[in-house]
Amino acid sequence: MSHRHALTIVITATFLVVGALGAQEHVHAATRIAINADLHMEMSPQRAATAADSERAAAVAAELRVALAPYRDTLAAVKDGYRMFLPQVKEQKVYHFTNKWRAVQEAIRFDPKKPTSLLYEKSPGGEFVLVGAMYTAPKRFGVEKLDARVPVSVARWHKHVNWCVPKRGESERWLERKDGQPVFGPESPIATKSACDAANGAFHDTVFGWMLHANVFAGDDPATIWGDEHAGHDMHSGMKMGELP
């Protein structure tokens, strides 16, 4: 099963399951899911920031902020090749508009002005509000290559790991639950190949490449710009269960 096919299915299945839960069950399930999600998230290591690191990260953020200014209007983003990820999912915490060609380019070079995805939130009035962008890097990259792009002492990269998914032709199994928890995907307690084999699933040690959010319109504090809400496991909302944006 290709990652793209499997992960697209996982989105639909997960939203169906969540919608079927009662309010009380959902609260308890959310707690377990948050714990399980830690099993499926790898973060770049923490380092002490130097003055040079801080200056370099600030320069990237400043360059990105200027480059993103035209994209406050999503029509401009679409015109430049960015497309909304998962348009069928109407309520997302953060909406990713992705340029697939730029994603390919980011695998071989890093240009702060040309991120893979633009990040939007919805205002109470339903308007898209640009908050920043997402950079990507190949999953094979070690910490030094990530650091060369944006200092890991200031910004922690992340990637999704250790997924157990249904085997090809068994997409209906995405709805399976055991002890009130999903059997498959990024919210499952299964995070090893042996446990996945026992569930008769297919194991993937890495699902996406590295990702980094730069919330350059959310504030001026580096902790806000480079803060990664994966600590709460909700930054990507539905996206984290889909194909790479």
- 3-class SS letters over 158-226: EEEEEEEECCCCCHHHHHCEECCEECCCCCCCCCCHHHHHHCCCEEEEECCCEEEEECCCCCCCHHHHC
Mean predicted confidence (pLDDT) in 24-47: 74
Displacement of CA 221 from its chain's centroid (Å): 22
Give the per-residue pLDDT at 30. Answer: 61
Which pLDDT band, with edges at 50, 70 and 90, does 92 fall under? Answer: confident
pTM, two decimal places: 0.74
Alpha helices (H) in the chain, listed in sequence order = 3-20, 23-37, 51-68, 74-79, 100-106, 143-149, 193-198, 222-225
Residue with tokens 């240009």: 111
pLDDT, tens only, 114-170: 999 999 999 999 899 999 999 999 999 999 999 999 999 999 999 989 999 999 999
Mean predicted confidence (pLDDT) in 87-98: 85
**In this structure, how many other beta carbons lie within 10 angstroms of the beta carbon of residue 90?**
8
Q: What is the SS3 assignment for 173?
A: helix
- CA dihedral over 133, 136, 142, 144, signed as positive or negative: negative
Which pLDDT band, with edges at 50, 70 and 90, does 187 fall under? Answer: confident
Long-range contacts of 109-114 (CB under 8 A, 24+ apart): 110/135, 110/137, 110/148, 110/149, 112/59, 112/60, 112/63, 112/64, 112/67, 113/63, 113/64, 113/66, 113/67, 114/67
> Nearest to residue 97, comparing CAs of 116, 82, 113, 86?
82
Give the per-residue pLDDT at 33. Answer: 64
